[in-house]
Amino acid sequence: MAENASDTSYDLIIIGSGPGGYVMAIRAAQLGMKVACVEKDPTLGGTCLNWGCIPSKTLLDSSEHFHLAKTRFAHHGIKVAGVELDLPTMMKRKDEVVSGLTKGVAFLFKKNKIASIRGTGEITAVGQVSVTAPDGSKSSLTTKNIVIATGSASVQIPGFAFDGKNIITSTEAIALPAVPKRLVIIGAGVIGLELGSVWRRLGSEVTVLEFLDRIAPAMDREMTSLLQRSLEKLGLKFQFTTAATSAKVTDNEVTIDFKQGDKTGQIKADVVLVAVGRRPFTTGLGLEKAGVKLSPRGFVEVDAHYQTNVPGIYAIGDVIGGLMLAHKAEDEGVALAELLAGHAGHVNYNAVPGVIYTDPELASVGKTEEELKAAGVQYKVGKFPFAANGRAKAMDSTEGLVKILADAATDRLLGMHILGPRASDIITEGAVAIEFGASAEDLARSVHAHPTLPEAIKEAAMAVAGRAIHA
Ligand code: NAD
């Protein structure tokens, strides 16, 4: 059961092998610790690799190719006839991508001599973890430190009992056996917009019911308004200020009841995807018995060094709250490994980028305009549209813009928001700039290769001082 585990005593036991847990395991092993990682699922990598980021991005890329072949190839002078969807092959490719990456984590564990222990971990006392293997057998491990990296699970709303077929979570939505004719999505957050795009491109009629008056409420409103327009052009239908209240399945058809202010309404679907957020996953961990304190919303409470109220028990990633993002969990894992090894380790939460992988993509780092206004910070704005960027024109992908927010007095970069092609890749320039405390002028004076998409960042930075060249 315990691969590589010649004995059962460790410096560090990590429960959970998602991006937080597995990255921390590798960094801790590099720093000389004897590490075990306990994972209840058959493959390593957690939600991100198995059912989250990786499979959804794979389907986003595949569905985008399909959509472009049908709608944009002719414009490029490429004649294609009889474009057809082969969903089983698309899903098989996705499964191969996932399997390659989860096997890659197993390889890295072996390479770094990390004991990969299959089973459900329970903290029985400080320094003690009991593991129940899939066959029900139990083993007891001892360790100097325990890290909870168990991630999160989909939030369930009353009246919507998941059945895995007609009322589903994102886990099933990345593996549907056929394209649903009518897909209703509850929640216009990241999952709703990404998976709504996938299935719309593959042919579903997609309606999104959102409680608030806008999509992606945590992002800059100007940018989300523009993204909403692009998604509506793709064919997504939004109903805002709408609370989904219940769903009933009859003969493979779901009837969803909702409330819109004083009014009530109904909508029918073949499949309803509930994407209203994720909750910390702490089931079966023995936290109550171990005396580990949880917040009122069920997150594991930690101090600035990721230690819980119980010395020797730490937590990172989705289970501690904040941004529920794989890269935030990874960086927390690295920081905690370094802290446990006696080094300095920290995460700059102000420089964590967030991305919605739609078309165009929306990426953001630092503050939004709404946050700056609420905090009373005086700021300057520079914007530059991709319609005036040579590379975006060459790519036939000119929707969107770069918006830069800089401190009015010091010119320090406070926020960067990008709606456009490959925003996910080029937002890194903003994250690095914020990390280094750069000013808008620093970005404006950095040489950018031509023709490239990041030239739009340079131009937006120049626009902060009213001197964009190509606008
Ligand atoms: P989310 O928090 O992004 O969005 C949930 C949305 O559901 C909100 O807009 C909320 O107002 C709405 N909502 C809540 N209750 C509702 C109701 N009863 N009726 C209608 N609308 C309702 O959550 P998500 O999209 O489920 O994503 C979960 C987590 O996973 C997020 O924290 C996200 O950051 C992460 N994630 C990230 C990525 C990425 O980085 N690209 C991709 C997928 C998921």
pLDDT (tens place) for every residue of the chain, 471 residues total? 444 444 789 999 999 999 999 999 999 999 999 999 999 999 999 999 999 999 999 999 999 999 999 999 999 999 999 999 999 999 999 999 999 999 999 999 999 999 999 999 999 999 999 999 999 999 999 999 999 999 999 999 999 999 999 999 999 999 999 999 999 999 999 999 999 999 999 999 999 999 999 999 999 999 999 999 999 999 999 999 999 999 999 999 999 999 999 999 999 999 999 999 999 999 999 999 999 999 999 999 999 999 999 999 999 999 999 999 999 999 999 999 999 999 999 999 999 999 999 999 999 999 999 999 999 999 999 999 999 999 999 999 999 999 999 999 999 999 999 999 999 999 999 999 999 999 999 999 999 999 999 999 999 999 999 999 999
242, 278, 299, 361, best to mutate for ligand 1 pocket (most atoms within 8 Å of CB): 278
Phi-psi region of 361 (alpha: psi -120 to 50; beta: other; left: phi over 0): beta
Strand partners, 130: 122, 140
Residue 345 φ/ψ, nearest 5 degrees: -155, 130
| Ligand 1 pocket member 275 (CB < 6 A) | yes
CB 306 within 8 A of CB 314: yes
51, 154, 191, 198, best to mutate for ligand 1 pocket (most atoms within 8 Å of CB): 191
What pTM value is reported for the model?
A: 0.96
Provide the 10 A C-beta neighbour count for residue 305: 12
Q: Which pair of tokens denotes residue 19? A: 């991006």
CB 336 within 8 A of CB 306: yes
Q: How far apart are CA 220 and CA 368, in angstroms?
A: 5
Residue 108 CA to ligand 1 center (angstroms) comes to: 32
Residue 190 CA to ligand 1 center (angstroms) comes to: 5
Taking alpha carbons only, the member of 315, 293, 296, 291 closest to residue 304 is: 315
Give, for 403, the enclosing helix (H) or strand (E). Answer: strand 401-407
Query: Which atom of ligand 1 lies at the shortest distance from residue 245's CA?
Result: 18
Crossing angle for the helix pair 87-111 and 19-30, to the nearest 10 degrees: 30
Give, for 231, the enclosing helix (H) or strand (E). Answer: helix 221-234
18 contact partners, CB below 8 Å, separation of at least 6:
45, 46, 47, 48, 49, 149, 151, 317, 318, 326, 329
462 to each of 372, 384, 421, 465, how far by Cα in Å?
20, 9, 20, 6
Taking alpha carbons only, the member of 345, 350, 298, 354 closest to residue 150 is: 298
CA-nearest residue for atom 2, ligand 1, is: 277
Q: How far apart are CA 321 and CA 325, in angstroms?
A: 10
Q: How far apart are CA 331 and CA 435, in angstroms?
A: 14
Q: DSSP E strands: which ranges in 270-349?
A: 271-274, 278-280, 313-315
| Ligand 1 pocket member 321 (CB < 6 A) | no
Q: Mind telling me the catalytic residues? A: 450
Q: How far apart are CA 371 and CA 350, in angstroms?
A: 12
| Ligand 1 pocket member 352 (CB < 6 A) | no
69 contact partners, CB below 8 Å, separation of at least 6:
80, 83
pLDDT of residue 68: 98
The DSSP bridge pattern shows strands 120-125 and 128-132 to be antiparallel
Residue position matching structure tokens 């099933």: 172
pLDDT of residue 4: 43
Residue 127 CA to ligand 1 center (angstroms) comes to: 35
CA-nearest residue for atom 27, ligand 1, is: 277
Q: Which pair of tokens denotes residue 334? A: 């690295």
Strand order of the sheet with strand 242-250?
242-250, 253-260, 263-269
Q: How far apart are CA 320 and CA 332, in angstroms?
A: 10
Is the Cα torsion angle 64, 67, 69, 72 positive or negative in sign? Answer: negative
Measured CA angle at 148 (ends 308, 428), to 5 deg: 100
Residue 270 CA to ligand 1 center (angstroms) comes to: 21
Taking alpha carbons only, the member of 337, 8, 327 closest to residue 143 is: 8
CA-nearest residue for atom 15, ligand 1, is: 276
| Ligand 1 pocket member 109 (CB < 6 A) | no
Residue position matching structure tokens 């200020």: 241
CB 369 within 8 A of CB 438: no
